[in-house]
Amino acid sequence: MSVMVTGRMNVNPDNLAKLFTEQADVFTAVAADAKERGVIRHIFVRGEGDTAMFVDEWPSAAAFEEFFGSQTLIPELMAAAGVMGPPEITICDVMDSPDRV
């Protein structure tokens, strides 16, 4: 069964959204690396106030941890966006339920 990974970041979401345009090629390169390592899905979401989150689905916690721990572009993007401190990462096992879509 896969895992869902959330990463809550202390950042102005508008700064992050601006970076999506300014450094689209870097985000695309990170996504390509994630795909090669097995990511199932990835999105960013706007939180309340100065928060944003990424929400990923990975085949395993180990696959995510290997990717995130070795990715050199992510820290650069976080710094450029003005992320304050490391993201608060939560990893949860996906439950197989009859209403899953």
Encode burial over 65-86: b for 16+ CB neighbours within 10 A, e otherwise.
eebbeebeebeebbeebebeee
DSSP state of 37: T
Confidence category of residue 75, pLDDT binned at 50, 70, 90: very high
pTM as predicted: 0.93
- What does the mean pLDDT of the chain come to? 98
pLDDT confidence of 23, banded at 50, 70, 90? very high
Which residues is 50 bridged to in the sheet? none
Select 3-93's CATH number: 3.40.50.300, 3.30.70.100, 3.10.28.10, 3.65.10.10: 3.30.70.100
